[in-house]
């Protein structure tokens, strides 16, 4: 497939903005969370967090498409939050699992958090993460006069425009569902720790990939994507580690075999060293519905 058929730049690399958000958090970096104390040698050899989502929802994992608007930050963020919530439900936490409204996170990240500075598409991963922590998330459906049952590119652009933002009359509902904690994840070992305890990640960078998966379900790095996606698991393939990345370009973007764990067709495996390079771009986030990222048992989803 041709990436030009799917790709619209949507992640903005702005380290100073990321730092401002990080410093607002009790644990700005993964290493400062209790979950970071879990020994690396105790981690499972593979983690497939999309299976937690499928077990809770009893339907196949969705292959969502952002369309021709640079709303990838909202898709990576919402996917990570949804999957984390499903894993926390399986761990016994009292949460709910629903499809989230990406347009709210896109607009809120750009306007409520970012101050409406961008006239073109895009946002910071940090702004999306901070919006869901400071304000919250909204489930798809009817909310008063707003029919948010289906994703809308037009709504992304309208609400995400400078001076617009999330409608004020939706905010009371959104504020009932905040994400408790966010933290930066900057290395592959830290990402493995997070995933193994049920914390999915949004992952933002300028690393691009070939569109076709190889025989092992792997897309090799190629070109440049200013893009945010979601990191949902990892596996060892032929002696090497790989992370599974969920894209937001729909079921038809990537082609080829899927790889271990029966992952959704909208994603791909990437070499651990490539994922580490993406994380070192410094704008990838883990999310927790329970404040403080407590250490968690992970045997329930191996």
**For each of the chain's 302 residues, which pLDDT tens digit applies?**
688 889 999 999 999 999 999 999 999 999 999 999 999 999 999 999 999 999 999 999 999 999 999 999 999 999 999 999 999 988 887 677 889 999 999 999 999 999 999 999 999 999 999 999 999 999 999 999 999 999 999 999 999 999 999 999 999 999 999 999 999 999 999 999 999 999 999 999 999 999 999 999 999 999 999 999 999 999 999 999 999 999 999 999 999 999 999 999 999 999 999 999 999 999 999 999 855 456 665 544 43
CA pair distance 69, 81, nearest whole angstrom: 21
Whole-number pLDDT of residue 300: 42
251 neighbors 141 (Cβ within 8 angstroms)? no
CA pair distance 12, 206, nearest whole angstrom: 9
Q: Which two tokens stand for residue 270?
A: 């990437």
If we measure between CA atoms, which residue out of 233, 289, 274 comes closest to residue 100? 289
Whole-number pLDDT of residue 295: 64
Whole-number pLDDT of residue 302: 39
Give how far Cα 261 sits from Cα of 47, 101, 257, Å. 9, 27, 12
Q: Which two tokens stand for residue 288?
A: 């927790």
Unique residue bearing structure tokens 């289906």: 150
Whole-number pLDDT of residue 93: 74
CATH: 3.90.70.10, 3.40.50.300, 1.20.1250.20, 2.60.40.10. Which one for 3-301? 3.90.70.10
Unique residue bearing structure tokens 């070192």: 280
Q: Round to the nearest angstrom and report the end-to-end CA distance of the chain.
A: 33
Whole-number pLDDT of residue 1: 65
Other beta carbons less than 10 A from residue 166's beta carbon: 24
Whole-number pLDDT of residue 301: 46
The model's pTM: 0.95
Unique residue bearing structure tokens 């599974």: 244
Phi and psi at 5, nearest 5°, equal -75, -15
């Amino acid at each position: 497939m041709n990436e030009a058929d799917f790709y619209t730049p949507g992640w903005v690399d702005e380290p100073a903005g990321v730092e401002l958000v990080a410093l607002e958090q009790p644990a700005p970096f993964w290493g400062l969370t209790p979950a970071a104390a879990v020994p690396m040698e105790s981690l499972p050899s593979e983690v497939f967090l999309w299976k937690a989502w499928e077990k809770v929802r009893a339907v196949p994992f969705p292959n969502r498409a952002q369309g021709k608007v640079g709303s990838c930050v909202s898709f990576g963020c919402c996917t990570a939050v949804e999957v984390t919530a499903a894993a926390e439900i399986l761990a016994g936490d009292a949460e709910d699992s629903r499809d989230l409204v990406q347009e709210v996170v896109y607009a809120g990240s750009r306007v409520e958090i970012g101050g409406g500075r961008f006239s073109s598409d895009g946002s910071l991963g940090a702004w999306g993460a901070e919006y869901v922590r400071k304000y919250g998330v909204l489930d798809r459906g009817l909310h008063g006069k707003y029919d948010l049952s289906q994703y809308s590119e037009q709504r992304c652009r309208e609400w995400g425009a400078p001076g617009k933002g999330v409608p004020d009359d939706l905010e009371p509902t959104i504020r009932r569902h905040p994400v408790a904690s966010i933290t930066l994840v900057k290395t592959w070992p830290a990402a493995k720790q997070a995933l193994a305890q049920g914390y999915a990640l949004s992952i933002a960078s300028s690393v691009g990939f070939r569109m076709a998966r190889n025989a092992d379900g792997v897309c090799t790095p190629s070109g440049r994507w200013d893009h945010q996606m979601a990191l949902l698991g990892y596996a060892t393939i032929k002696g090497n580690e790989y992370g599974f990345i969920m894209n937001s370009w729909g079921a038809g973007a990537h082609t080829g075999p899927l790889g271990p764990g029966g992952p959704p067709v909208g994603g791909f495996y990437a070499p651990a060293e490539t994922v580490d390079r993406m994380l070192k771009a410094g704008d990838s986030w883990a999310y927790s519905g329970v404040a403080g990222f407590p250490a968690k048992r992970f045997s329930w989803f191996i």
